[in-house]
Amino acid sequence: QVQLVESGGGLVQAGGSLRLSCAASGRTFSAYTMVWMRQAQGKERAFVANINWTGSKTYADSVKERFTISRDNAKNTVYLQMNNLKPEDTAVYYCAVQGSWNPRQGKYEYDYWGQGTQVTVSS
């Protein structure tokens, strides 16, 4: 069982920055692919970024050049540095552990989720 706890959300003006953190329990954190997802009000949860055990990173097009995902395996923590925030970045941000690929649905399963942290960007 893995527990994930996000922190760092808040209210920020457009153009500002926030850094989200996700602390994980468990002794095999370094082996996980960690993911940040977000869900805006009235919309489906959407992929933001992930980082695998080698440090390889993938970003959604909407956040490239503005967001940076990183991890500190010694602290069992994954981060999301968000710069030049826009009102459309407003959402609840979740971290998750990426699981297996589901060929029927054409997407990854996510094994564990945090409780989420609210990010609100004002214009």
pLDDT tens, residue by residue, 20-78: 999 999 778 888 999 999 999 999 999 999 999 999 999 999 999 999 999 999 999 99
- Which runs of E-coded beta strand occur in the chain? 4-7, 10-13, 18-24, 33-39, 46-51, 57-59, 67-72, 77-82, 91-102, 107-113, 117-122
Cα–Cα distance for residue pair 9/103, rounded to 1 Å: 33
Q: Which token pair is 40?
A: 């805006």
